[in-house]
Amino acid sequence: MTGLIQRSPHPSLATAAKVSAISGTQFRSLPQDTLLPVLADAMASVPDSTWRKDRAAFEETDAILDSTGHGQFQHGVIVAVDSRATAGSYIASQTVKKVIEINPYLLGTMAGGAADCSFWERLLARQCRIYELRNKERISVAAASKLLANMVYQYKGMGLSMGTMVCGWDKRGPGLYYVDSEGNRVCGDLFAVGSGSMYAYGVMDSGLRHELTVEEACELGRRAIYQATYRDAYSGGQVNLYHVHGEGWTRVSQDDVLMLHQQYKEKA
């Protein structure tokens, strides 16, 4: 293990050293390095057991991202996202993966700056693994979202651009949280994030019911993202669907929006 030597050690470095000893992760301090103390503070602020007791054991959530978003239904969480990345008015990519697979029971979505979202959610995945090794159990959705919010809050006002949803399944059943680069963290049943969110909300609000079947919920998420890509120039590409349930998450489908346009046009 690499030693950690400083003249004036940050008080939270002891926490990092403890996590390092338990998990086998190597920590090394660099001159003017501020990230390690931030991570140590974030880890220290998450209690060993973060379970809210005021929510039902089984919830539903269906999500549609940036076109991205989430909502609840009786069989878990549906995550739906588009795949377009833009640089101003230029379409940079049509195949961006906007769902980050944190662990087999946790997913994060991306809206905002691609680099910021990707970096912080992959860092969250590492910290969730450290938590699991330290506590001998999977981290809860609430604790994972709190950990992400704590990390990015340290950089508030420094130009980060991130709007993400952390969703998954834990001891309490399904969970859904919105976290952004300002450190905001909101628990809810229905979210849409990104430039196409207003169009996605219109579809979801009109069709969301607790009694939806998995197939109906998937179709609702698919149509919501399609509608966002149809009206919003910054959304497009493909519609990717995930279903989070008691056994973990499952990738449901990947549909090109042009094919969906033809399909819905024929049904009209």
Considering the domain boundaries, does residue 49 fall inside one? no
Which H or E run includes 212? none
Considering the domain boundaries, does residue 5 fall inside one? no
Give yes or no: residues 147 and 212 share one domain: yes
Considering the domain boundaries, does residue 3 fall inside one? no
Considering the domain boundaries, does residue 7 fall inside one? no
Count how many domains the chain has.
2
Give yes or no: residues 101 and 196 share one domain: yes
Residue 71 confidence (pLDDT): 54
Give yes or no: residues 128 and 28 share one domain: no
Sequence-ordered alpha helix ranges (H) in 70-113: none
**CATH number of the domain bearing residue 238:** 3.60.20.10
Residue 67 confidence (pLDDT): 47
Percent helix, strand, coil in the chain, to 5, is 35, 30, 35
Give 10-residue mean pLDDT values along the chain (268 residues).
42 46 47 46 44 29 39 79 92 93 94 92 96 95 96 93 94 93 91 92 89 91 95 94 93 94 88
Reported pTM: 0.73
Give yes or no: residues 38 and 83 share one domain: no
Give yes or no: residues 117 and 24 share one domain: no
Give yes or no: residues 249 and 163 share one domain: yes
Which H or E run includes 210? none
Residue 73 confidence (pLDDT): 67
Residue 89 confidence (pLDDT): 87
Residue 49 confidence (pLDDT): 37
Domain containing residue 184:
61-267
Considering the domain boundaries, does residue 55 fall inside one? no
Tell me the C-alpha distance between 76 and 58, whole Å.
8
Give yes or no: residues 103 and 34 share one domain: no
Give yes or no: residues 30 and 140 share one domain: no
